[in-house]
Amino acid sequence: MGAAGIPRRLRLLSLRTTFAVSFATVTAVVTVLVGVLSYNAAARLVRVDHESVFDQVVQDLRDEVRQRRMTPDDFSSSAPGHDIVRPVRTDVQVLGPDGRVTDPSDPRLPVTESDRRTAGAAVSARMVQHKDVVVGRDVYRIATVALGGGRGAVQVAQEFGDTEDLLRSLQRRTGILMAAVVTAAGLFGWWLARRITRRLVALTAAAEDVARTRRLGIQVPVTGLDEVGRLGRAFDRMLGRLAQSEEDQRRLVQDAGHELRTPLTSLRTNISLLRRIDELPPAAREELVADLGQEARELTDLVNELVDLAAGQSDTEPPQRVDLAEIAHDVATLARRRTGREISVRACGDTTTDGRPAMLTRAVSNLVENATKFDRDGTGPIEVSVAGPARPGTVRVEVLDRGPGIADRDLVHVFDRFYRAADARSQPGSGLGLSIVREVALAHGGAPFAHRREGGGSVIGFTVGGGPAGDEPHSGGSG
């Protein structure tokens, strides 16, 4: 299918067209059913009423000839009082004893052999009926009633053509009315569909614009409190989060590229020295090899932390019920084996929460590693405290050390990516560990915090499940 054919097909299959056609179809079906049923009911009532009147006239005539001895002259249109004996609302034609017409009606009614036999009948009120008799252009119903004693008969006829003309006129009007209702319903359905789908069309245009231009910062039209309004707001929030994620990825790539230049440049310099390693004294050789090993380890740590940070931003690990106290004990046990330092864990309150175990383990591990790195020569234990809930649903994790502490100017930056305080730049590390802590805390509805410890050292930690960590100083990245 060509590009020109797609928009046309989309127009034909649009929600607006579908809604309007469906509305008109339902209305048409209902209107036709109601119209047909109403017409049939009305036609049946009219016909039954007309036939009832004729049957009553015939019955009255039969009763009259039974009660009185009557002759054809009694029904003659020229006889005195004929307007009394001749049935009303009917055409009357009088037959003689031999069945010949003695007083014709207008129009003249046909006389059959059965009518002639009835005219010569000896029993009064004997009757023969004829239905749907065509006389001229009209349809009649005819009843021939014997006067008895071979004196003749009276034919009574009633025209049904006027009734059928009336019903045909009613049928035409009903059809015109149904067509008008269906047309009006189609137009109203189209107007209603335009009104309903107008915001959906705007949202669709916004989504297509995003797909075409890859720009996430577009203005999304959001109005109303119904489902379409909720969809617009959800779409707007989704675009906002995607734009923020894209910005985070861009900054991460830029920061990572900046931080990778230094170890890579140093590696290239040392590798160039390897070409002249035979010319270097033994002490310089050992120092060169040691530098290469250290730089390779730092580069590996940096890459691993970048991977952890990127994975933390798009973690798909399903949340589950976890105990942060158990996580802290496991992290402390592993850190004791690696560093030989004394690490104590204390817990109080309900320390369980809904979260991602791997992410929370990484955050607690980064806090402990940060403390052991900056309190390398300390003699006191590193303390891990897990408390909850300080406020409804909040669990607080903090690691306390007796290291050099954090300068006031650095407190607001310790969670920034790649940030390292001036007196900590000689220490190993990439400056991403605490950034990962911040990402984990924010992903779990909490926030990081850091402040100086009374008596020296630092207190660094995070909360989960309760929003910001209160009045503790906290900030946006890692140190």
Homologous superfamily (CATH) of 315-464 is: Histidine kinase-like ATPase, C-terminal domain (3.30.565.10)
Place of tokens 């730049």: 425
Q: How far apart are CA 254 and CA 241, in angstroms?
A: 20
Q: Which amino acid is at 135?
A: V
Strand 448-452 and strand 458-464: the pairing is antiparallel
Q: How far is CA 299 from CA 148, 307, 415, in A?
A: 131, 12, 20
Residue whose C-alpha is closest to residue 434's, from 466, 458, 408: 458
Q: Tell me if residue 143 falls in helix, strand or coil.
A: strand
Helices and strands (H and E) in the chain: how many: 11, 12
Q: Which amino acid is at 319?
A: P
Give φ, ψ of 272 to 5 degrees: -65, -30
Give, to the nearest 10 degrees, the angle between helix 15-67 and helix 161-213. 170
pLDDT recorded at residue 10: 45
* Sheet arrangement for strand 138-146: 101-103, 91-95, 153-159, 138-146, 127-135
Domain boundaries, the chain: 1-67+160-211, 73-159, 216-314, 315-464
pLDDT recorded at residue 328: 92
* CATH topology (fold) of 73-159: Beta-Lactamase (3.30.450)
The pLDDT tens digits along the chain (479 residues) read 444 444 544 444 566 777 777 877 888 888 888 878 887 887 777 777 777 888 888 888 888 888 888 888 888 776 555 454 556 567 888 898 888 888 888 888 899 999 888 888 888 889 999 888 888 777 888 999 998 888 899 999 887 766 667 777 778 888 888 888 888 887 887 887 777 777 777 777 777 777 777 777 676 666 767 777 777 777 777 877 777 777 777 776 766 665 666 677 777 887 787 777 777 788 887 887 887 777 777 677 667 766 766 665 555 678 889 999 999 999 888 888 777 788 899 999 888 898 888 888 888 988 888 888 877 666 678 899 999 876 666 899 999 988 777 777 777 777 776 665 545 444 544 566 787 888 888 888 899 998 888 878 889 999 998 544 443 433 333 33
CA atoms within 13 A on the CB side of 313: 17
pTM of the model: 0.45
Q: How many residues make up the chain in this entry?
A: 479
pLDDT recorded at residue 162: 67
Q: What secondary structure letter does DSSP report for 138? A: E
Q: What secondary structure letter does DSSP report for 279? A: G
Q: How far apart are CA 34 and CA 287, in angstroms?
A: 100
Residue whose C-alpha is closest to residue 474's, from 443, 444, 438, 439: 438
Topology match between the domains 73-159 and 216-314: no
Architecture of the domain whose range is 216-314: Orthogonal Bundle (1.10)
